[in-house]
Structure 1
């Protein structure tokens, strides 16, 4: 009998070696194994699900519970914290973490905000960034997330020494 490969809901390829998704379930594990993940970046402020921890133990992928580490109550109008986005971008841009997958509870808003800020850092125009963000939200993007992306201070990000090939000084804003 052939192996079933079922990607998680809201799965997408961001760049070579960078993936995004919503929650993952054991039915997705055969597919995820094909990615050879080294790092799983968790944006939720909940504990890492036991199934994800077991997957990491089995495959050697390193879980980074970033949402749990950076969660702060009452962050005002901001949908996510600047610290979460800064730390997330630095993890994504460090090629030593690749292949890396970004997970949030829905795969839409927190992940979309992080990827939107990555696109801004890559020098994408704002309209293209928002089109990509909205394509994952089914056109139901959150205005506060879009505003966060637009106003995010890229100077907060410290670029790692080991940048991926797809990120160059010509593509990003330094």
Structure 2
């Protein structure tokens, strides 16, 4: 509230309609920002500077709607700016391709085949746990439930798989 002990008509209308204004923001997609927008509206209302307002409640809702429009425009502009920046900084270099060379493709396929062969030498549960967790992106707890084992068993299986793959990498680096 302002320094005065008695709120102005507009401030009083805001205080009386705070929950309605909050619902107004939420209904228009403000989400978690609804409280922030309400605070911004309060700052504008409590700053005063305007003369008497004949219909304070409609005035508050028009101001709230203007805040939502400004927020939307700001979000669109930020998204456009981020997209343009990404395009400018990660775009392809003229005359060069983003595709890997044929040598890299062949090397990657060979390495993937070696990884698959290494996993095939492991106990099937360890290989499955590794694939579900690292390839499919499933959490360890869910992998444990799927395999019907404890979380510590999945962790142990993953350590076995990681160790085997680390040894493969060492052999590859030596060659």
Tell me if TM exceeds 0.5.
no
Structure with bigger RCO (C-alpha 8 Å, 6+ apart): 1
Give the structure with the larger helix fraction: 2
TM-score, structure 1 normalization = 0.21
State TM-score, norm by structure 2: 0.21
Structure with higher Rg: it is 2
